[in-house]
Amino acid sequence: MSSVPTRSEIDEEYIWDLESIYATDDDWEAAYEDAADRIEELASYEGQATDDAETLLAILELRDSLMREISMIGAYARMRSDEDTTNQEYQALSARAQSLAADASAAASFIEPELQELTKADFESMVEAEPGLETYAHYVDDVLRMKPHTRSAEIEALLADLSEVTGAPGEVYNMLSNADMTFPTVEESEGYRQSDAPSDDESPDAEVEGVEITQSNFVNLLKRPDRDFRQRVYEAYFDEWESVRNTVATSYKNSVKTDVKLAQARNYETAREAALDGPNVPVEVYDTLVESVHDNLEHLHRHAELKREALGVDELKMWDLYMPLTGDEGPDVEYDDAAQYVVDAVAPLGEEYQSRVAEGLDSRWVDVYENEGKRSGAYSGGTYDTQPFILMNYQDDVASMYTLAHELGHSMHSELTKDEQPYVYSGYEIFVAEVASTVNEALLTHHLLETVEDPEFRKAILNEFLERVRSTLYRQTLFAEFEHEAHALEEAGEPLTADRLDELFGDLKSQYYEPAAIDDRIHREWMRIPHFYRAFYVYQYATGISAALAISEDILERGEDAAADYRAFLERGSREYPLELLEIAGVDMSTSDPIDRALSTYRDRLEELDLLLE
């Protein structure tokens, strides 16, 4: 029986260093109390933001200082909870941190409505009186831009105070999918057992081993060469989701309702318009993505057909979809080897960038392996005042190596931004964040194809590149269509039942994977996607990979000049709007050109691997 280790069984060097934030939980408590006291100080300034330049600067600096501390409090509690989602103590700390953040947001909610009483000329006069306000020029420009969608200070305070409630559907889903749901164990066929050979005292007729399905290993299990095993895993996994379909449908329905109601509260016609207006991305960018992908679905169809041919089956089933074109699971890549590959791959980005990646990997940025109760998936976290932290569930395969490169891209984006920007611009919109992560992936592909001689490994690299584009550009665009249509149904007053959501997702799956057999179970795949609880988020993965492929090609062709432009883009944080930032790196995302270029590269790599397989 395969098993997932407990956290205590994992060596410390593979566990992130949260003690670098707070050495003990008592230190966290002290920081919590200090922040709680400072919230009242911030609230006491209500009504004074536009009195004079000195007061405005004091308010903005106090808010930033408070939010820096609260972000550390929240990050520590959240990551402790992610280490073991069944740990009630850290669930409680995380809930308290969320409440504290909501209180701080409510206390600060007067600032933007009061700033919107100013004109641009008023603010320029205040900058002349207090030059320290110049730092906030872009921030104030963004605030004034949002004036038509900002309510009174009283309503803004209420909306901020309700953030815990409006986030409840996602919290319920997270607890259900990560802490409460358990998946069955599926037997492996004897000829395909992944364990070592039986010992001398084992009978050749010993009981066939089983594999416990988890959220983290599900996709990996669908890469096993035993097709019958893949089918059993697929069916058992989605049957478990079927058992909670009404709960998940209710949770998602209420998440969509929340998005729609909040958009209406801020005078937007649609939830999508509200979501995209925050980062100042025109809705036409969203529509252009969907249209460009639909114009190029034949490449995805060809990919599916090649999978069918490589597997030697009459019909490609949904449990075949993750199988590599190479026909097996590919080479094992242990974590330490993967880390070195990534360090070597980012050399085109400059010596300083490369050395900081290496140093970070040696400084316990990464929580590497899956353990019992650990949150599934991967992310890059941390705050302005901490080192980066990367959560992974590393599986000793090529895909996990690419995930490491991806998350390190996010972490280095944060590091370079912190070097150059004040706290107010230290964050960045997801629209540009996914560029930083995917440039690293593209450079990793280039490096491996340039240096690895083993033909099977090379095939695995090409296959991984194709899978990354398939799952990031095509798949995320499918998801983007799904959530757009789900929100449109809610806005039209149509009920979002489990059956209707199944139908909606199934129809899209049929369009995207036309050559494959679309069964009833895949219709409920929407249930397993946590990103849907952050509405209109996933399309940015697709735009991100499109921009990243263009940027990485430019770096490899032009060298240091292009790399310097790219680093300058990373260093700007959120000091400009997303489309303006990408122009620094040489990409125009207001057009379909980057998307078409990415899909053209996908087509060419597909043909390249097809020839190798022949």
Give the residue numbers annotated as catalytic, written as ranges: 407
Tell me the C-alpha distance between 114 and 450, whole Å: 57
Residue 85 φ/ψ, nearest 5 degrees: -70, -10
Which DSSP string corresponds to 383-438?
-TTS--EEEEEE-SSHHHHHHHHHHHHHHHHHHHHHHHS-GGGS---HHHHHHHHH
**Tokens 């019958």 belong to residue:** 228
Residue length of the chain: 614
Are the CB atoms for 112 and 140 separated by under 8 Å? no
DSSP letter (8 states) at residue 135: G
> What is the SS3 assignment for 210?
strand
Which pair of structure tokens corresponds to residue 84? 């073991």
DSSP letter (8 states) at residue 85: T
Q: Angle CA(551)–CA(553)–CA(556) in degrees, nearest 5?
A: 110
Instruction: Enumerate the H helices of 455-592 as residue ranges.
Output: 455-469, 475-491, 498-512, 539-558, 560-571, 578-584
Are the CB atoms for 49 and 126 separated by under 8 Å? no
Are the CB atoms for 588 and 594 separated by under 8 Å? yes
Are the CB atoms for 462 and 605 separated by under 8 Å? yes
